[in-house]
Amino acid sequence: MERHTEYHKELENEDKVYEITSVAFTAANPETKTLQLSPPEGKIWHLDIIKAWTDEAPTDNTNVGSLTDLDIYINGTAKKVAKSYASDMIGTTYRTCGIAFHCQQKFGQRLKITETVNGAYVTATKTGTGTHTLWLSVEGTAI
pLDDT of residue 6: 53
Percent of the chain with pLDDT over 70: 76
Q: Are 77 and 36 in contact (CB under 8 A)?
A: no
Has residue 142 got a pLDDT over 90? yes
Peptide bond into 30 cis (omega under 30): yes
What is the arithmetic mean of pLDDT over 105-110? 91
Output the CA torsion sign for 50, 56, 62, 64.
Answer: positive
The 10 Å CB-count burial string (b at 16+, else e) for 109-122 is: ebbebebeebbbbb
pLDDT tens by residue, 5-44: 554 455 555 689 999 999 998 889 899 999 999 999 999 9
How many residues in the chain?
143
pLDDT tens by residue, 60-86: 666 666 778 899 999 999 999 998 876
